[in-house]
Every structure is written in C-alpha cells, then in structure tokens.
Chain A
Amino acid sequence: MRVIYKIGEWFDQRLQLAAPIREAVEHPVPRNTASWWYVFGSAALTVFILQFVTGILLALIYVPSAGEAWSSLQALNHDVTLGWFIRALHGWGSNFMLAIVLIHMVQVFLFGAYKFPRELTWIVGVFLLLVTLGMAFTGQVLRFDQDAYWGLGIGASIASRVPIIGPVIVKLMLGGPTIAGATLSRFFTLHVFVIPGTLIGLVALHLLMVLKLGINEWPMPGRLVRRATYVNEYHELTKKDGAPFFPYAIWKDMFFAAMVLAAVAACALFFGPFGPGGRPDPTIIQTVPRPDYFFLWLYALLSLLPPSMETPALLIGPVVVIFILLLLPFLSGEGEKSWKRRPIAVLTVLLIAIVLGTFTHMAETAPWSPHMNAWSGDPIPQKFLHGSTALERQGALVFQAKQCRNCHSLEEVGGERGPSLDSVAVRLNQDQLIRQVIQGGGNMPAYGKNLSPAETTALVAFLETLRPVGHAPARDASRAVVLEKNSEATSTQP
C-alpha cells in the first residue's frame, strides 16, 4: 500500500493532476440533483466509450473496401472467436446510445437546464445529437450490404435535390459518379476518424461546461431564472444545500451506467448482431431496402408527404428544426424551469414523441410499399371462389396474374398500398369498376393498355363478387330509376 502511495506521489509530483481532479470530482452539487433523473448524460458517455472500444476491436478485422467489407463482416460473424458478440455489442450500443441521448435531451429540456447560463451547453448538446445521428447513419453504411448500398442511393437522391449544388454534393458524398469503392472508404473515414474526433471534442466541451457552470439544480415551480441574480443564487444553493459530487451523487451514475452496459450486453447476447443482409451486389434487384430503426420515421415521412412537399420538407425541414433547437435557449433563456409550470413544453415533447413513435410504428409494416411477391405468393382465399362461375374464376386468375395483389389485399393478405378489396363490390358498381381498372387514378396505375377486353370483363366479373354475405352490391341509382320506369311501362301494357 505504501509503495503504491509512493509511486502515485512520484507521478503527481511531475503531472500535478491530483489536485485538479480531486477538485473536479468533489465539486459541490445541489443535494437534490443526486437523483435518478440526472444519470442519462453519464450513461450516454459510458455507451460512447463502449462504442469507442468495440469500434476499435471491429476495425481489427473489418476491411473498408467495397469488394471485401461484406466478406469481412461474415468472417466476424462466423469465423473470428466471439466476433459476432463484438459486432452485436457495437450494433446494440449504437441503438442504446441514440435512445439515451434522446432521453437525456428530453430530461434537460423539461428541467429547463438549457436556460441561463447553460445556453452553450445546450447548443453543444444539439451538435452532439447531430453527430450521434451522423455516427448511426455512417455506421449503417459500413455494414456494407444491400440495405447500405440502396440506402446510399436514397441519401444521394435526397442530396441531389438541393438547388444548384445538388450534383456537387452527390459526387462529394459518393466520392465519385457512382456508389462504389470510394464511397465506402469515404464513409469509413467519416465514421472512424472525422465524426468520432468531433464527438470527443464536443463531449469534452460539454463536460467542461457542466463542471464550470455546475449541474442544473432541481427545478422548483416558481423559482425563476434571472440573468442578474441566478449565478449568485446557484452558489448560495450549493453552499447551503450542497454535497460533493463524489461520492454523494456519483454512485447513482455508476449504478445506471453498469445497468445500461449490462442491458447492451444482454441484448447482444440474446438477439445477436445486425446483419449483414444480402451481398452489396447492385444487380440483385430483388431487394426491399429498409433503413435502420432510428431512421424509420424518416422513411415513413418520405412515403406519406405529398410529392410536391417532399423536396421542400427534406431540404428546409431539418434546417428549421436545427435552427429552432439552437435558438431555444435565447428565446426562453430566463424564467420558469419546472415542467410543472411549462405545459407547452410538456405538450411539445409529447407531440414529437407520439409523431415519431407513430411514424416508426407505421414504417415497421410499411403499408405504402407494394408487396412485390403477393401476386405469386398469396393465393385468393377459397371462400371468394366458392360457387363462382367460370368467367369469375377466369377473372380471379387475371386478378392474380396482373399483380393486383401486390397493392390490394383480400382477407388482410397482400399489399396495402391500395384499398382492401374484400368488399369492393359494395363500394363500386360495374361501370365504376371498369373505369377504375382501365383508367386508374387515385394512386392506381391505368391498366387499359395491359388488359384485353376479355380480361377486363372477367376481372370485373370477379370483382363484382367481392362483397360480404348479406350486403347489397353498389348500384347506379339513376339507372335503377330508368329500369323501374321501363318495367312499369312494360307491366302496364295490356
């Protein structure tokens, strides 16, 4: 023990770091901030360190070459001892990191921590969120499979819409005219050098400011922040009702960090690594590209926006959102901190969470995507063919063969791009069915050129049978009146 102390003293005589470190960890914090609500920042840092370490471990095997990346991931998954586990840790770690960063941001927002004098801490935090999202997107590209390849195509398509400099951005992003070797090298550089370097710098700034300005005190309803008096009030608080960060508050951070790490490890162990999916061979077009979990909401948004709104929303939307986030501490840098007296803040968080959650949930089933194999894979349920005529059965065949099922479901099987046709005959009469099939419209392509008159007749005959038992078919009211008059005329005739 004495030897260790002596060695420590020898080093400190030269480094002179012991005193500032002690001062930093033992700085007084308001007693009520030693709360489980204050553990998310340190947890995010912990997961970042996990990502840093597992990232270096993966780089021992991974080959950042478009020709070999996929095979090296296979080697990690199957050949290298526990390579799959390190990949799984890194993959799950990325999901946890994004989730924790978001929770941290919500907590900081609801506790009014962005107000004076911590505006810059918040602003650096906003950049940390962007950088974390950047890590998630570039990491998804390094898992160089079909999703990564086509995901890059989607990224390029979005970038190309920037006015004037769009094509320049695309070539800068891809490192050439197409998605190829240079693209992967570029994203590797971003993911491994540029963005992590930025991240480390920003984290250091963020932490430094937390130390210098002190942790945000627990917000009390009615205790307002004023520029003139806040700093003195805060010092008074830490003096009167403060406790040293170490060990008074830090034990909760340590427990939570360990729990998060254990949760990441458990997910990695039980669920395994993410992919890689199919080979990044562009000539294999039988693929349905999907983004990773944290970008699913964007995928939904791109499907649901009216086409004319898409480009403005894609290009202006992020700028506006980032601008609002950066401006927030200047718009409300003073005043009430407690969420109990900031209903708009609470509602904003709830609204954003519900919108993002709904979009993510929708994107998991993607009802807007045609089911590319439904026409050959999902047969027509027997009950729709029971007792049908030869013409109607021929129509059912046309219905399958012409890929109608890719967008239309029967008994909830098949695509959901178009409406379900279980009861289409209740909604549309014969003439309307023919018109819809031949001319399309309402997001349906026109089939006029691709169906012979015989095929159309058969198809419509089949569609006319699609109605629940006991439901009357749709009818043309005016025609019924004419028919009625005609029959009256004939019956009154002698």
Chain B
Amino acid sequence: MFDKVNDSRRGFLVKLGMVFNGLVASALAVPVGRYLLSSVTRGRSNSYLSWVSLGQVSDFPEGETRLATFKNPNVTPTDGETAQIPCWVRRVEGEQFQVFAVNCAHLGCPVRWFPQSGLFMCPCHGGVYYRDGSRASGPPERGLFEYPHKVDNGLVTIHAGELPTPGPSAALNGEKPSCV
C-alpha cells in the first residue's frame, strides 16, 4: 500500500507534510530548549554571584569561628527558608578572615565547628577539617570550600550565590572563585 502511495502525487504531499511538521517542530524546539536550559545559561559568566554582607567586622571576635547567615542573592518568591544560607566565618586577626561554606567537600552535608578541639566535623561520613579549613581526615579529597571575601566599609562581604559542590567547578586553585 505504501508503495502505491509513494508513487502518487499524494505520497509526495505526505512527504511534504512530514518535512513541514519537522520544520515547525525544530523551530519550536529552540525556545523550548532555551527555556529548559535557562538555569544553565543564566549561570554563565558567574552572573549568579554577587557580593553579600555578613555583618560588621566587630560582630566576629578575633581568633574565633562563628556561624553567619546571608540571604541568597538570587532569591525567588517561592524560596521560603531556603533563601537563607549559612557559612562559617573565621576571623584570624584584624581584618584577616576566612569564610567557609558549611557544605562538606565530600558530599555537601553541613559541617559543624567544635571550638574546643578546633575541628570541623561532618555528621554524614565523618569528614574532618582543621580550623583553617584544610582537610584533616575522612573521605573528603580537599579542604572546605572558601568564599572569596573582602572587608568593605567595616562590613565582611563574600562573593556568593552558588551551591559549592566538589566537582571540577569547585577547584580551589585556579582562576575561578572557590565557591563557584
């Protein structure tokens, strides 16, 4: 039956119909694809990242490590509590700071700071880090993620906005900020 159709004028029209549908479908696929990939394309050239303030320098006692929270710079109306992000702020001395992500460099569980022993411990798989964020023991292959930071008009600010993950994007060394 198909052979007969193929030979006829109508067979040609069916083929033309398919080509026409294919053209329209591929034209529609472009906006659909761009919509689906928007979370990726928007993140190019670090546009998710902004400088956010964690508070006054004087809020952080010298030599201590404190938990600070900041509002995610890319907040959407449905984020609720998830818009607040915690981080560990270590004031080494004076205006010298280190700001660590709470996410363990192994699989992202929240690490806790123990000032008595000067260690960060992860409750999931037992990753441990020293006070300067370097790896002490356990499964993590690297130290804690560190946010790029600066002191601006007496405020501690960090360059944040993306979830730090242990993939290649989170490499500590290199050009990229470590929490990207």
**A-side interface residues toward B, CB under 8 Å?**
65-68, 149-150, 153-154, 156-164, 166-168, 170-172, 174-185, 279-283, 285-289, 299, 302-303, 307-308, 310, 368-370, 372, 375, 401-404, 406-407, 417, 440, 443-447, 449-450
CB–CB B141/A440 < 8 A: no
Q: Which residues of the partner chain A approach B167 to less than 8 Å between Cβ atoms?
A: 157, 159-162, 166-167, 170
- When distances are taken between beta carbons in the complex, the residues of chain A under 8 Å from B108 are 150, 153-154, 156-157
Given A154-B107, A443-B138; A166-B169 close (CB under 8 Å): yes
Say yes or no: B112 contacts A170, CB within 8 Å: no
Name which of B7-15, B57-65, B116-124, B151-159 contacts chain A.
B116-124
Nearest-Cβ distance from residue A226 to partner chain B, whole angstroms: 35
Q: Which of B75, B82, B130 interacts with A179 by CB under 8 Å?
A: B82
Instruction: Tell me how far the C-beta of A442 lies from the nearest C-beta in chain B, rounded to whole angstroms.
Output: 9
Residues in A whose Cβ lies below 8 Å from that of B37:
172
Q: Which A residues are CB-close (under 8 A) to B54?
A: none
Which single member of B81, B118, B161, B166 contacts A279 (CB below 8 Å)?
Answer: B81
Q: Is A170 a contact partner of B140 (Cβ separation < 8 A)?
A: no
Please indicate which of the listed interface residues B102, B116, B165 has the most CB atoms of chain A within 10 Å of its own CB. Answer: B165
Question: Closest Cβ of chain A: how far from B103's Cβ, in Å?
Answer: 6
Q: Is B168 an interface residue, CB under 8 A from the partner?
A: yes
Total interface residues on B, CB under 8 Å, equals 61
Bound: A369/B124 CA distance, A: 6
CB distance from A168 to the nearest CB of B (A): 5
CA distance in complex: A303, B140 (Å): 10
CA distance A449 to B75 in the complex (A): 40
With a CB–CB cut-off of 8 A, which chain A residues contact B40?
168, 171-172
Question: What does the 1/0 interface line of B104-147 toward A look like (CB < 8 Å)?
Answer: 00111111101011110111111010110000111111000000
User: How many pairs of residues, A versus B, come closer than 8 Å at their CB atoms?
Assistant: 212
Tell me if A450 and B126 are in contact (CB < 8 A). Answer: no
Indicate if the CB atoms of A157 and B126 lie closer than 8 Å: no
* Nearest neighbor of A279 in chain B, beta-carbon distance: B81
| Contact call A160/B166, Cβ cutoff below 8 A | yes
A281 to B81, CA, bound (A): 5
Q: Which residues of A contact B85 (CB under 8 A)?
A: 178, 282-283
Contacts of A161 in B (CB 8 A): 166-167
Q: Does B119 lie within 8 Å of A369, measured CB to CB?
A: no
Q: Which of B77, B81, B117, B165 contacts A450 (CB 8 A)?
A: B117
Task: Kindly name the residue among A279, A299, A307, A375 whose own CB sees the greatest number of chain B CB atoms within 10 A.
Answer: A307
- The answer to whether A181 and B138 touch (CB under 8 A), given A303-B125, A447-B117, A449-B118, is no
Residue pair A307, B77 in contact (C-beta under 8 Å) = no
What is the interface of chain B mostly: helix, strand, loop, or mixed? loop
Closest 3 pairs (CB-CB, A-B): A67-B80, A160-B167, A181-B78
Q: Which of B86, B131, B166, B170 contacts A282 (CB 8 A)?
A: B86
Contact of B109 among A153, A167, A281, A450 (CB under 8 A): A153
CA distance A450 to B106 in the complex (A): 24
- Report the Cα distance A181→B138, complex, angstroms: 32
The answer to whether A153 and B80 touch across the interface, beta carbons within 8 angstroms, is no
In the assembly, what is the distance between CA of A213 and CA of B81, in Å? 53
Q: Are A445 and B128 in contact (CB under 8 A)?
A: yes
Residue of A at shortest CB range from B68? A283
Interface centre among B79, B167, B170 (most CB of A within 10 A): B167
- CA A34 – CA B102 in complex, angstroms? 57
In the assembled complex, B84 has its CB within 8 A of some CB on chain A: yes
Closest Cβ neighbor of B81 among chain A residues: A281
Q: How far is the CB of B62 from chain A (nearest CB, A)?
A: 17
Give the most central of A67, A161, A174, A283: most B CB within 10 Å: A283
Interface 1/0 per residue, B2-45 and A, CB below 8 Å: 00000000000000000000000000000000001101101100
A402 to B121 CA separation, bound complex (whole angstroms)? 12
Given the complex of chains A and B, what is the CA–CA distance between A29 and B114 in angstroms? 67
The answer for the CA separation of A440 and B82 in the assembled complex, in Å, is: 37
Q: Give chain A residues whose Cβ lies under 8 Å from the Cβ of B92.
A: none
A and B contact pairs by CB, cutoff 8 A, 15 listed: A67-B77, A67-B78, A67-B80, A154-B109, A166-B165, A166-B168, A167-B169, A171-B39, A177-B39, A178-B72, A178-B163, A180-B72, A181-B78, A285-B111, A308-B141
Q: How far is the CB of A494 from chain B (nearest CB, A)?
A: 54
Assuming the A-B contacts A68-B80, A176-B74, A403-B119, are A156 and B165 also in contact, with contact meaning beta carbons closer than 8 angstroms in the complex? Answer: yes
A334 to chain B, nearest CB (A): 35
Known: A66-B80, A176-B48, A417-B126. 5 other contacts (CB 8 A): A65-B80, A157-B108, A157-B166, A162-B167, A172-B40
